[in-house]
Amino acid sequence: MFRGATLVNLDSKGRITVPSRYRTTLNEASEGQMVCTIDLNQPCLLLYTLPEWEKN
């Protein structure tokens, strides 16, 4: 799909916002269902569409 790095801030409830430049593509590819997990090798989060996550 795509790969990138973006620094984001947490809101007052501890949530992140998906940057708008990715939002439309992710929603179309995932129908709003995504999985967020941590990367074990780097200090970052990984966001997968549910169909992509279920392949593994």
- d(CA 32, CA 10) in angstroms, rounded, equals 20
Residue 11 lies in domain: 1-56
Given this model, what pLDDT does residue 40 score? 93
Domains identified in the chain, total number: 1
| pLDDT value at residue 31 | 83
Q: Given the structure tokens 């995932």, which residue do they identify?
A: 30
Q: What is the pTM of this model?
A: 0.66
pLDDT at 44: 85
Residues contacting residue 42 through CB under 8 Å, at least 6 positions apart? none
Give the per-residue pLDDT at 2: 62
Straight-line distance from the first to the last Cα atom of the chain, in angstroms, rounded to the nearest whole number: 15
Residues of the chain with pLDDT under 50: none
